[in-house]
Structure 1
Amino acid sequence: MILKVFKEKSNQKYINKLLSARQVAVSNNKMNTVGVILSVSEFSDFESFRLFFKSLGIQAAKTKIIAFVEDTKDSNELWDTYFNPKDFGWKGKINNIDLQIFVDTKFDVLISYYKENHLELNLITASSKANFKVGLTNEDERLFDLMIDVKPKEFSVFKDELKKYLTVLNKL
């Protein structure tokens, strides 16, 4: 139990290091590739995101959705990729190959669709090489370039707001 606390502190220190070194350089390029991070305990409807991206004219091959599950028994084989707390080591080390590929992908937009403060979700968001990061309001505002304050169950409101802001920012 005490090792778990030290591991969490180690990972939080790594997140703080990443966020303090982050250079915000948002480009004016149109949105072509999108990554989504979900917390299954809050929202698990992958198809809603797929339909939303299709309506924006983004090809399915240019999107990647990953889901965080507390317990692997809650996972679903239809999901692209899922991860759990066991996929993380000390000092921000990621032990899941699919998750590491997701983090290293340079998405035009990363959507972190979770409201609860989970160290693992924040670690993936902070580590991501995405150009523009969108999230629901969270405890650590340094994680995102744009925050939309809605509950995860209010997906239609989120869609409308995101589309509005992406249009204003010339991403669509």
Structure 2
Amino acid sequence: MFLKFFKNLSAKRIVKKKALNVTTDISPNRIQTVGVLIDETYFEHKHDFIKLLIEYGFLPENISVLAYKKAYKKKEEVNYPHFSKKDVSWMGNIDKEDVVYFKAQPFDLLINYYDLKKTPLVIVTHSSKANFKVGFSSVDKRLNHFMIDTKVENYQLFTEELFKYLKILNKI
């Protein structure tokens, strides 16, 4: 227990030392590929949220999802890319294959669907190769290019606002 606390503290310090500033280079291209980083600890409507993105016009084969949960139960069957707090090293790295693959993808849009600043989620968001990052305004403002002020539970409103502004920005 005591070691877990120091492991988390060490990872947080390393993330703070890294420059969390988002590059201002935003591609003028339209959005084709979408990455979705979801905190499943409190948000359980992942499939409904993905269906809503498909209804708004994104192709299912162009949407990649990575889910985070503080801890997965041993007998819990998970058939999608995921990671947990135990996958974070002392140095703030996540070497799980699903996460490494997700971070390396050059998504046109990365949707950071979490509203609490958690070290593993911040690490993935910061090291992602996405061109345009969208998230909640309650998280560190240096992580995302565009922030929406709403609650996580209201994914319909989040999606409406997202697509409204993507149309204004001529991204879709």
Q: Same fold (TM over 0.5)?
A: yes
SS of the equivalent of 1:126 reads helix
User: Where does 1:62-141 land on structure 2 (aligned, <5 Å)?
Assistant: 62-73=62-73, 75-78=76-79, 80-141=80-141
- Which deviations, in whole Å up to 9, do the C-alpha atoms of 1:14-44 show, x marking residues without a partner? 3231414x42211111110111111112212
Is the deviation greater in 8-17 or in 118-127? 8-17
Cα separation, 2, equivalents of 1:76 and 1:133: 30
Is the deviation greater in 39-48 or in 96-105? 39-48
Pairing 1:28–2:28 present = yes
**Residue 11 of structure 2 aligns with which residue?**
11
Unaligned 5+ segments in structure 2 are none
- Kept after mapping to 1: 8 A contact 2:35/2:107: yes
How far the C-alpha of 1:70 sits from its partner, in A, is 1.4
Pairing 1:170–2:165 present = no
Flag the structure with higher helix content: 1
How far the C-alpha of 1:93 sits from its partner, in A, is 1.5
Is the deviation greater in 162-171 or in 44-53? 44-53
Query: Which AA in structure 2 matches 1:34?
Result: V
Identity of aligned residues (%): 35
Cα separation, 1, equivalents of 2:163 and 2:53: 10
Query: Which AA in structure 2 matches 1:19?
Result: L
Cα separation, 2, equivalents of 1:18 and 1:106: 20
Is the deviation greater in 158-167 or in 131-140? 131-140
- Kept after mapping to 2: 8 A contact 1:18/1:126: no
SS of the equivalent of 1:135 reads strand
**Residue 54 of structure 2 aligns with which residue?**
54
SS of the equivalent of 2:28 reads coil
How far the C-alpha of 1:76 sits from its partner, in A, is 4.6
**Relative to 1, partners in 2 of residues 1:107 and 1:14: Cα closer, same or farther, differing over 3 Å?**
farther
SS of the equivalent of 1:170 reads coil
How large is the RMSD of aligned CA atoms in angstroms? 1.9
**Residue 158 of structure 2 aligns with which residue?**
158
Pairing 1:145–2:145 present = yes
SS of the equivalent of 2:142 reads helix
- Which deviations, in whole Å up to 9, do the C-alpha atoms of 1:42-83 show, x marking residues without a partner? 2122222322222232221111111111121185534x2111
Cα separation, 2, equivalents of 1:91 and 1:169: 37
The two structures have a TM-score, normalised by structure 1, of: 0.89
Unaligned 5+ segments in structure 1 are none
